[in-house]
């Protein structure tokens, strides 16, 4: 039976597919760490109170990258180059979503509008990350090799999502509601396309590594397209809703150590 659990178990059990999975994940987390670090350094004066939380977000992303690399080392594996068609972060930026890296490389303060763009982009992508890690946690929280890492990363992603909700609601109350709603919708519709394309690319690479049959690959592609149709018809709306989270000030403290998870 083809299920999320059986699919990931197959990827986990095979060295080449596991190398690719961890390499893609580590690269994306490291990129997110760099982006958040630069944004924290460039936050405008009127939003300086937000800088420590953005920095904490970046520290968490860096930690996740180290965790995935540590999982590889435990298996005696080295990272592999990330195929360009699986680079979620790069493809989102290329589509004009979030803050451009050229802007982040300049030592010029951001605007409050840039902060809105950053938080809206993060709210959408952290929804995806939170859901994906919750799925892994549901099936592999007790796994002897990856269980602790999955639990820690899943909790962090939930904290990131809660922080985005809280800060966007604060900015909406300060008069930025229209810009937030518009930016969230644009980000969500772009993200579901990129997620579909990256999912298809990752499954193609995994299929070659694992020797999947043409029929199995076609079934997985059909499933990915079906998810995209659902999201395009209305599922994307879950990514743009805002509600005050139960976890208030979720990024108000220091990041936890990566060593605790591996």
Structural domain including 43 reads: 4-261
CB environment 132-148: b (16+ within 10 A), e (fewer): bbeebbeebeeeeebeb
User: What pLDDT shows up at residue 262?
Assistant: 60
Q: The tokens 């809280």 sit on which residue?
A: 166
Mean pLDDT in the chain? Answer: 94
What average pLDDT does range 126-141 have in this prediction? 96
Q: pLDDT of 139-193, one tens digit each?
A: 999 999 899 999 999 999 999 999 999 999 999 999 999 999 999 999 999 999 9
**CATH code for the domain of 203:** 1.20.1260.10
User: What pLDDT shows up at residue 4?
Assistant: 83
What average pLDDT does range 14-43 have in this prediction? 97
Q: What total of structural domains would you count in the chain? A: 1
User: What pLDDT shows up at residue 256?
Assistant: 67
User: What pLDDT shows up at residue 261?
Assistant: 56
What are 26's two structure tokens? 């580590």
For 221, phi and psi rounded to 5 degrees? Answer: -60, -40
- Residues 38, 40, 42, 43, CA torsion sign: positive
């Amino acid at each position: 039976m083809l299920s999320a659990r059986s699919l990931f178990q197959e990827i986990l059990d095979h060295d080449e597919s596991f190398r690719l999975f961890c390499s893609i994940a580590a690269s994306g987390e490291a990129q997110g760490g760099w982006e958040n670090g630069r944004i924290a350094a460039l936050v405008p004066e009127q939003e300086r109170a937000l800088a420590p939380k953005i920095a904490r977000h970046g520290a968490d992303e860096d930690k996740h990258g180290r965790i995935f690399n540590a999982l590889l080392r435990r298996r005696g594996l080295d990272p592999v180059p990330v195929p360009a068609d699986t680079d979620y972060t790069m493809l989102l930026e290329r589509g004009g979503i979030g803050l451009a890296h050229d802007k982040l490389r300049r030592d010029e303060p951001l605007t409050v509008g840039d902060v809105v763009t950053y938080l809206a982009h993060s709210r959408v992508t952290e929804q995806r990350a939170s859901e994906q890690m919750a799925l892994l946690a549901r099936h592999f929280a007790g796994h002897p090799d990856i269980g602790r890492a999955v639990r820690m990363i899943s909790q962090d992603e939930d904290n990131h999502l809660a922080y985005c909700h809280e800060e966007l609601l604060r900015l909406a109350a300060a008069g930025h509601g229209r810009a937030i709603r518009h930016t969230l919708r644009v980000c969500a519709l772009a993200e579901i396309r990129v997620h579909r394309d990256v999912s298809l690319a990752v499954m193609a690479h995994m299929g070659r590594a694992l020797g999947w049959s043409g029929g199995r690959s076609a079934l997985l592609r059909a499933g990915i397209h079906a998810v995209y149709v659902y999201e395009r018809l209305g599922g994307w709306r879950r990514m743009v809703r805002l509600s005050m989270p139960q976890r208030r000030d979720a990024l108000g403290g220091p990041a936890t150590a990566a060593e605790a998870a591996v």
